[in-house]
Chains A and B, each alone.
Chain A
Amino acid sequence: AQSVTQLDSQVPVFEEAPVELRCNYSSSVSVYLFWYVQYPNQGLQLLLKYLSGSTLVKGINGFEAEFNKSQTSFHLRKPSVHISDTAEYFCAVRINAGNMLTFGGGTRLMVKP
């Protein structure tokens, strides 16, 4: 079975600073990878996804993530965060032959002025 680990439960950062949210997964088969964002009192919204091809994936709101197969990682980055990026971020994995997503525990990004 696959699993997802988000190493940081909370990440405080000042506005306009860069940020990296870490995600590692374990799976014995090929996977698809996703990052979702959840704003307060809302559902999850897709930020970006990796299915195949280029390992650097760009998403909405200036976020990007890099798939590293050897390190089984899919870290999310943004060069300059805004107050509005304050939210919970979830990494998720889906095995190629499956339909279910396995989610990490989430990372709460707190952007301070």
Chain B
Amino acid sequence: DAGVIQSPRHEVTEMGQEVTLRCKPISGHDYLFWYRQTMMRGLELLIYFNNNVPIDDSGMPEDRFSAKMPNASFSTLKIQPSEPRDSAVYFCASSFGTGGYEQYFGPGTRLTVT
């Protein structure tokens, strides 16, 4: 398997623009997680899905952030409008609920908002 795939790997945008991050989980995994990593706050869970349904979005910073999972093989994290404080590395991870319980992480998207 190719592992968790994220695109783009790097994104530079101006404040106020819409940003869409994409993730393809490992085939057969039924959980998908979105994390944000910054120097100040470390690794934060934003939202996670089970069988394409959002289960816990309590980590989403504010209404500017939204996530969707239209099918088992694709998810998006959207920021609209973006702000400089959104600059971070965003990771997607997937896992198999009744398996070994570990999460498999993608390579991340480094977002810079100027």
Contact = CB atoms under 8 A, between A and B. Distances in A.
Interface of A: 32, 34, 36, 42-46, 49, 51, 90, 94, 99-101, 103, 105-106
B101 A51 contact: yes
Given A49-B101, A100-B48, A43 B42 contact: no
B103 interface: yes
Given A90-B43, A106-B43, A99 B97 contact: yes
Nearest to A42: B107
B43 A103 contact: yes
Given A43-B91, A43-B108, A51-B101, A103 B48 contact: no
A100 B56 CA distance: 9
A51 B102 CA distance: 10
B25 interface: no
A99 B97 CA distance: 7
Contacts of A44: 91, 93, 105
A11 to B, nearest CB: 17
Q: Contact residue range for chain B?
A: 20 to 34
Interface of B: 4, 31, 33, 42-43, 45, 48, 50, 55-56, 91, 93, 95, 97, 100-108
B45 A34 contact: no
A102 to B, nearest CB: 8
Contact of B31 (A36, A99, A103, A105): A99
B91 A94 contact: no
Contact of B42 (A34, A100, A105): A105
B107 A43 contact: yes
A34 B105 CA distance: 14
B54 to A, nearest CB: 13
Contacts of A43: 4, 91, 93, 105-108
A90 B37 CA distance: 12
